[in-house]
């Protein structure tokens, strides 16, 4: 396996990110792409579960845990939320 990590949802290279000390994460790799379909569609299911509209999941992997993917909860600004809604609409309209 190479050290080259990419997001399976948008094929963009993951960014290295050091978690806060209290999280015990150490270094993780995150998809910071605001166009990522995973990120855009996660807002919809989070709001369905009653979460605040401004939250979404980013795709992330944890190298300390066999590079297992997990959901990194993150802030979604209103401008992107609009894009996310358009994206979800475009999915809904396809049969
Ligand atoms: Zn992505």
10 occurs within a structural domain:
no
34 occurs within a structural domain:
yes
**12 C-alpha to center of ligand 1: Å?**
6
**36 C-alpha to center of ligand 1: Å?**
4
C-alpha 22/C-alpha 49 separation (Å) is 27
Which residue intervals of the chain are DSSP H helices? 37-48, 78-92
For residue 70, give the nearest of 34, 37, 28, 36 by alpha carbon: 28
39 occurs within a structural domain:
yes
Average pLDDT of 53-77? 92
**50 C-alpha to center of ligand 1: Å?**
24
66 occurs within a structural domain:
yes
- pLDDT tens-digit map of 5-63: 999 999 999 999 997 888 777 899 999 999 999 999 998 888 888 876 789 999 999 99
In sequence order, the 6+-apart residues with CB closer than 8 A to the CB of 66 are none
Question: Which structure tokens are listed for 61?
Answer: 């992997």
**85 C-alpha to center of ligand 1: Å?**
17
**4 C-alpha to center of ligand 1: Å?**
14
Q: How many domains would you assign to the chain?
A: 1
8 occurs within a structural domain:
no
74 occurs within a structural domain:
yes
31 occurs within a structural domain:
yes
Q: Which domain holds residue 67?
A: 15-92
This prediction has a pTM of: 0.83
54 occurs within a structural domain:
yes
């Amino acid at each position: 396996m190479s050290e080259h990590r990419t997001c399976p949802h948008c094929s963009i290279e993951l960014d290295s990110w050091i978690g806060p000390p209290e999280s015990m994460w150490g270094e993780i790799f995150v998809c910071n792409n605001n166009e990522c379909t995973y990120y855009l569609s996660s807002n919809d299911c989070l709001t369905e579960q009653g979460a605040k509209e401004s939250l979404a999941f980013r795709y992330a992997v944890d190298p300390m845990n066999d590079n297992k993917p997990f959901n990194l909860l993150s802030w979604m600004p209103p401008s992107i939320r609009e894009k996310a809604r358009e994206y979800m609409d475009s999915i809904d309209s396809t049969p």
